[in-house]
Amino acid sequence: MVQENQVNLLEQNQWEAGPGEELKIPETYLNRLKFEIVVLGQKKEFTFRCSEYEWIEGAAYRFANVIIDTSETRKGEGGATIVELKRLTYHPEIHLVNTPFMAVPALEELVPGEAD
């Protein structure tokens, strides 16, 4: 029997909250995030957070325990970004092949739509 609040880090997961609602994510997912990865070479920078990464055969890197901000946003007056739906997606593992990226320590809290 699986408990409702039990965490399985081997399965993909997703959390959503509407405007003004709190996005609730089990702490087990968040306290593992050590790196912020900035993917370069795209039309728009793409970022995600992970617990670890390593080079694997060929020109590929493996990233473990990945959280991606997949919130729905739109541009408001003056070009400000308005978050219409807060959403974070967890992936146990992703790979980047032949893709430049930069890794930096993840220092701040990961809460969509609450950046200063």
Q: What is the per-residue pLDDT across 56-73, written as a single tens digit (0 to 9) for each?
A: 988 899 999 999 999 998
Longest dimension (CA), the chain: 52
Which residues are bridge partners to 3 per DSSP?
Answer: none
- Per DSSP, the residues of 94-112 read EEEES--EEEEE--S---T
Amino acid letter for position 48: F
- The pTM for the full model equals 0.81
Q: For strands 72-75 and 81-97, give the pairing.
A: antiparallel
Residue 78 has which token pair? 């003056």
* Percentage of residues of the chain with pLDDT beyond 90: 58
73-82 residue pLDDT tens: 888 888 888 8
